[in-house]
Structure 1
Amino acid sequence: MSNLDVLKKGYQLFAEGNIEAVLELWDEKIVWHECPGFPFIEDEGVFVGGQAIVEGVLSKLPTHYDDFNIEIHDFVDGGDKIVMVGYYTGVWKATGKRFKANATHTWTFNKDGKPNAFFQAVDTALIINP
Structure 2
Amino acid sequence: MTNLENVQDGYQKFADQDIEGVLAKFDEGIQWHECNGFPFIEGDGIYIGPESILQNIFAMIPEHYDGFNINITDLMASGDKVIMQGFYEGTWKETGKDFKANATHIWTLKNGKVTHFFQAVDTAAIIS
Q: Same fold (TM over 0.5)?
A: yes
- Once the two structures are superposed, the pairs formed by residues 114-129 of structure 1 within 5 Å of their partners are 114-129=113-128
Report runs of 4+ in structure 1 exceeding 6 Å deviation: none
- Once the two structures are superposed, the pairs formed by residues 23-38 of structure 1 within 5 Å of their partners are 23-38=23-38
Per-residue deviation at 1:107? Answer: 0.3
Could you tell me which residue of structure 1 aligns to residue 102 of structure 2?
A: 102
Where does the alignment leave 5 or more consecutive residues of structure 2 unmatched? none
Please give the per-residue CA displacement for 1:43-73, whole angstroms capped at 9, x wherever unaligned: 1100000000010110000000000000000
Where does the alignment leave 5 or more consecutive residues of structure 1 unmatched? none
SS in 2 for 1:20: helix
- Once the two structures are superposed, the pairs formed by residues 87-98 of structure 1 within 5 Å of their partners are 87-98=87-98
Could you tell me which residue of structure 1 aligns to residue 69 of structure 2?
A: 69
SS in 2 for 1:55: helix
Q: Say yes or no: does 1:79 pair with 2:79.
A: yes
SS in 2 for 1:57: helix
The alignment of Structure 1 onto Structure 2 pairs a total of residues equal to 128
Per-residue deviation at 1:76? Answer: 2.2
The structure with the greater share of residues assigned to strand is 2
SS in 1 for 2:28: coil
- The amino acid across from 1:2 in the alignment is T
SS in 1 for 2:29: coil
Determine the C-alpha separation between the residues in 1 that align with 2:109 and 2:41.
24
Determine the C-alpha separation between the residues in 2 that align with 1:53 and 1:100.
23
Determine the C-alpha separation between the residues in 2 that align with 1:6 and 1:51.
20
- The amino acid across from 1:3 in the alignment is N
Instruction: Calculate the TM-score normalised by the size of structure 2.
Output: 0.98
Q: CA RMSD in A?
A: 0.7
Contact 2:66 2:93 in 1 (8 A): yes
Instruction: Calculate the TM-score normalised by the size of structure 1.
Output: 0.96
Determine the C-alpha separation between the residues in 2 that align with 1:23 and 1:126.
27
Please give the per-residue CA displacement for 1:13-70, whole angstroms capped at 9, x wherever unaligned: 0100111111111111110000111121011100000000010110000000000000
